[in-house]
Amino acid sequence: MSLKCGIVGLPNVGKSTLFNCLSNAKAQSANFPFCTIEPNVGVITVPDERLAVLAPMVNTTKIVPTTVEIVDIAGLVKGASKGEGLGNQFLGNIRETDAIIHVLRCFDDENVVHVDGSVDPVRDKEIIDTELQLKDLETCENRIKKVEKVAQVGGDKNARIEYDVLCAYREALLQGKNARSVTFESKEETAAAKGLYLLTAKPVLYVCNVDEGAASTGNAYVEAVRQAVRDEGAEILVVAAQTEADIAELDTYEERQEFLSDLGLEESGCNRLIKAAYKMLELETFITAGEMEVKAWTYRKGWKAPQCAGVIHTDFERGFIRAQVIKYDDFVRLGSEAAVRDAGLLHIEGKDYVVQDGDIMHFLFNV
C-alpha cells in the first residue's frame, strides 16, 4: 500500500530539517528560499513497540515494521496559485499526496530569515490556505463549466451529482473555507468529491516547529495556532525540529532517551509525528508473528479480513477461506499461541470480520 504525506510550508520554516529527522535521508537544508526544488521522498518506519514485545515470545530476532512515504515539498509563497515562486510545481506535488503535514515556524531566530520578514505562524498558515483554496476554486470553476449543461439539461444522474458537489465546494471556497469543511451524506456524492482530488480536501496535521526551550511546553506562537485552527478538527503537534536533528545524531538509544528526558519528553517528536500521520491517513496495523519474523502490515481502518489478506498477497484475498485471529493483549498476557488456544481465545473469523488494530492474523486460503 503506497501512501504519501506531503510536508508543506513557507520557505525556511524547518520542513527539510524535519524531513531529514523523519527519514534519515539527507535533504539539502539551507537558510534561503527554494533550497528544496524537487521533492525529496523518504520511506519512514512507523514506530510500533508491540513488535519488539512479540519477537522474543515467538523466538525470532527479525522484526519488520510497516512504513509510510513522506515527501518534502518546495516552500510556497504568496501568489503560488498564479505561478509565483515554484507555484505550479508545488501545487502539483501536493496533489500527488494523500495527506498534508503543514509545518509552521513558531520560533524566533534572527539568523534564519523569514520570507515575509517576521514570525507569524497564523499569517503563514493563512497564506498557504489561501493559495490552495484559490487553486481549488479554479479547479471547481473549470469543472463546473464542463458538467453544468449536461447536469441541468442532459439528465445525466452522475453529472448532476458532480455538479452539486462542485457547487457546494465552490460556495465554501468563496467563503475562504477549505474543501474538507464540506461533508456529503450520500455515497455517490462522497465518491464524486473524492474524484476531484482537491488540495484543501486532504486531511492536514499542523506541526509547530519551536526552539528547544519550548519543545515540551509550547509557546505563545503555538497557542495562537491552536486558536486559529480550533474549528478545523485538525491535530497540532509541537516539535523542535533542530533539536530532533541533534538527538538523531546521538549514537545509542539510551543517550537519545536521556536527552528527551532532560527536555521533559517521553517520546521523540519524530515518533509522535509519524504515528499522528499514520492515524491521519486512517491507517491501522495487523501483525503476523512466527519464528521467521514478526511483521507489521498496513491496512485501511474498517477493512475486512479478505482485504487485509490481500495486503500480504492477492492470492490470499482471492482464495480467502477464513482467518485465525489472536488479540495482541491476549497473546502478551498468556505468553504463547498454544496458551491462547487452550484458553479458547483464538478466534476463527470469516469474510465479514472487520480487522482491528494490533490483531495477530493467520490467513487460510485456497486458489
Beta strands 40-45; 347-349: pairing state = unpaired
Predicted pLDDT at 19: 82
The pLDDT value recorded for residue 77 is 56
- Pairwise CA distance, residues 326 & 330, whole Å: 7
CA 315 to CA 309: how far, in whole Å? 8
Asked if 68 and 87 touch (Cβ cutoff 8 Å), the reply is: no
State the pLDDT at residue 265: 84
Q: Cα–Cα distance between 131 and 146 in angstroms, integer?
A: 23
Q: Which are the contacts of 148, defined by CB distance < 8 A and separation ≥ 6?
A: 163
CB neighbours of 49 closer than 8 A, spacing ≥ 6?
Answer: none
Per the listing, cell 482537491 goes with 198
Q: How many CB atoms lie within 10 A of CB 313?
A: 13
The per-residue pLDDT string of the chain (367 residues; one tens digit each, 9 = 90 and over) reads 567 888 888 888 888 888 888 765 443 333 333 333 345 777 788 889 999 999 999 999 999 998 888 888 766 656 544 554 444 555 777 777 888 899 999 998 888 767 667 899 999 999 888 888 988 999 999 999 988 888 877 677 888 999 999 999 999 999 999 999 898 989 999 999 988 989 899 999 999 999 989 988 899 999 999 999 988 878 899 999 888 888 878 778 788 888 888 888 888 888 888 888 888 889 999 999 999 999 999 999 999 999 999 999 999 999 999 999 999 999 999 999 999 999 999 999 999 999 999 999 999 998 7
pLDDT digits (tens, 9 = 90+) for 11-59: 888 888 888 887 654 433 333 333 333 457 777 888 899 999 999 999 9
Rounded Cα–Cα distance for residues 8 and 16 (Å): 10
Q: What is the DSSP string of 43-81?
A: EEE---HHHHHHHHHTT---EE--EEEEEEPPPP-TTGG
CA distance 71 to 102: 12
The distance from CA 178 to its chain's CA centroid, rounded to whole angstroms, is 18
- Residue 300: what are its φ and ψ, rounded to 5°? -80, 135
If you compute the radius of gyration of the chain from its CA atoms, what whole number of angstroms results?
23
Q: Whole-angstrom Cα distance, residue 325 to residue 338?
A: 13
For residue 268, give Cα distances in angstroms to 47, 123, 224, 237, 340: 11, 28, 23, 11, 34
- How far is it, in rounded angstroms, from Cα 346 to Cα 334? 12
Q: What are 239's strand-pairing partners?
A: 209
Residue 143 contacts residue 166 (beta carbons within 8 Å): yes
User: Residue 76 has what pLDDT?
Assistant: 62
Q: CA-CA distances (angstroms) from residue 166 to 82, 148, 232, 273? A: 21, 10, 21, 33
